[in-house]
Structure 1
Amino acid sequence: MGDHIIEADNLGIRFVRNRRRQLRLREMFIHRGGRQPRASDFWPLRHVSFQIESGEAVGVIGKNGTGKSTLLRLIAGVLIPDEGGIRVRGAVAPLLELSAGFSNDLTGRENVHLVGSLHGLSAAFLKRTFDEIVDFAGPQVRDAIDTPVRHYSSGMKVRLGFSVISQLPHPILLMDEVMAVGDAEFRKKCYATIERMLAEGRTLVLVSHNENDLTRFCTRGLYFDAGQLRVDGTVREALDGYNNVVRT
């Protein structure tokens, strides 16, 4: 592998899918020692190769279930590939699945300190910037900052999660549909923050169905279909590949 900040080489990951994901206790006893429900292998991504340069803004495009979020988890190191490999040269600031890794049992305040510290932010830095983080997330989050996150709406989790992750100095930012649940005011603040990060030379990998967001930030696009990388080109070329399939 070369000197790219992110490099995937024949990347593949396999999940085991069971059509009967959850068995009742009675069914577990019935199947014990006998025939088990059939499981099948499923490859959300396979034979995927690409390189991303430092400072690039790359949109990951495709229908639901085509491996986009799985790719971000592989880049973040949350998942380990079964085939090939992926190399990431630099720390990653991940905002995945709306919540940035929050614990539902902890309050918003506790999650700010937990997630921030897990990503290397010092207790002194978090104490100094806490009000700024919460203010960015908005008055609804501030009013609930000492309430367990399980009671937050998905939009509140996104706002607080983005507020924490945007404080990280890491060179790579991963975003998965972050702005899809935010209101207009929050999106405006997000846009300004992302533009600042890109101006600083950060690398962005953005999963989104919003064509305006993709064309605003990304110059390059990766279009995935059925776990395969179909288009690696400009963001317009990737969007055209996606739209051509959606229209058929």
Structure 2
Amino acid sequence: MAAPVISVDNVGVRFQRDRGRKRSLKDMLGRKELRQAPDEFWAFRNVSFDVAEGESIGVVGRNGQGKSTLLKMVAEVLIPDEGSVAVRQGVAPLIEITGGFVDDLSVRDNVFLAAGLHGKSKDEIADEFDDIIEFAEIKDFVNTPYKHLSSGMKVRVAFSVIARLDEPILLVDEVLAVGDRGFRRKCYARIEEMLAEGRTMFFVSHNDGDLKRFCQRGIYLDKGKLQYDGPIDEAFDRYTTDYA
């Protein structure tokens, strides 16, 4: 049997409610006990699962239950406080999608910057630049400073860049909730193309239609725990039943 492309092993993540209070050196060095200070809480704890290559997984739960946090760990931009996350393939993250774009740079410069940060060479970006701009529908704004774009236009640019990456694992966090209906249809079609190529996907959404369209498996996070891992219909049904 092939090794899983993602292994989440007994993971826990904690945050501080009072961001103004810094942990002392003693707090940071005393990680063996991982005692919870009064102003700390666990987003989730003791979460374990494996993901096979080509699986498409919907992550469901209320706001604040750790869905985006889970994706950030898979993207390796967040380190868990307990346990481990092993990711054995490259990741294309559609999470906090406009992060990394620079307001004062032009759209053109931002495309080269963002794609370059994800490993694309300058020549590769140049070859794909026209397709990126056409997909984003911003041909008349390529030399406009990014800060002057509308929020919807910014999302279109960012999605168009990330959707051109060749990474085998795709992370999608509520990005399809933004933008007009026509652009969402294009996003849906592009995601379906990527899944048809055999990519692995984590998909966070509150939209049951989108979840059931793209995902076969569902993970339900609630009250700091993995409450269910199985068919997406059952995962969403359990979630909606708990909070009907």
TM-score, structure 2 as length reference:
0.88
Partner of 2:136 in structure 1?
A: 137
Deviation at 1:111, TM superposition (A): 1.5
Compute the RMSD of aligned alpha carbons: 1.8
Q: Measure, in 2, the Cα distance between the counterparts of 1:59 and 1:118.
A: 27
2:12 is the counterpart of 1:15 = no
Residues 135-170 of structure 1 deviation map (CA, whole Å, 9 limit, x = unaligned): 1011xx333333333333332222111111111110
Partner of 1:74 in structure 2?
A: 73
**C-alpha contact (below 8 Å) 1:108/1:148 kept by paired residues:** yes
Counterpart of 2:217 (choices 220, 226, 237) is 220
2:156 is the counterpart of 1:168 = no
Structure 2 unaligned runs (5+)?
22-36
Partner of 2:24 in structure 1?
A: none
Residues 174-225 of structure 1 deviation map (CA, whole Å, 9 limit, x = unaligned): 0110110121211111111111111111001111111111000000000111
Superposed counterparts of 1:79-228, under 5 Å? 79-99=78-98, 101-138=100-137, 141-228=138-225
2:223 is the counterpart of 1:239 = no
Of the structure 1 ranges 62-71 and 98-107, higher mean CA displacement relative to structure 2 is found in 98-107
Secondary structure, counterpart of 1:230 in structure 2: strand
Structure 1 unaligned runs (5+)?
22-37
**C-alpha contact (below 8 Å) 1:18/1:39 kept by paired residues:** no
Partner of 1:28 in structure 2?
A: none
Q: Which runs of 4+ in 1 moved over 4 A?
A: none
Secondary structure, counterpart of 1:77 in structure 2: coil
Q: Measure, in 2, the Cα distance between the counterparts of 1:11 and 1:210.
A: 26
**C-alpha contact (below 8 Å) 1:11/1:46 kept by paired residues:** yes
TM-score, structure 1 as length reference:
0.87
Deviation at 1:104, TM superposition (A): 3.0
Residues 68-106 of structure 1 deviation map (CA, whole Å, 9 limit, x = unaligned): 001111100110111000000100000112315323343
Cα distance change on mapping 1:19 and 1:95 into 2, 3 Å? closer
Q: Measure, in 2, the Cα distance between the counterparts of 1:62 and 1:104.
A: 33
Superposed counterparts of 1:53-72, under 5 Å? 53-72=52-71
Percent identity reads 54
Cα distance change on mapping 1:98 and 1:176 into 2, 3 Å? same
Secondary structure, counterpart of 1:223 in structure 2: strand
Q: How many residues are aligned here? A: 228
Q: Measure, in 2, the Cα distance between the counterparts of 1:56 and 1:98.
A: 22
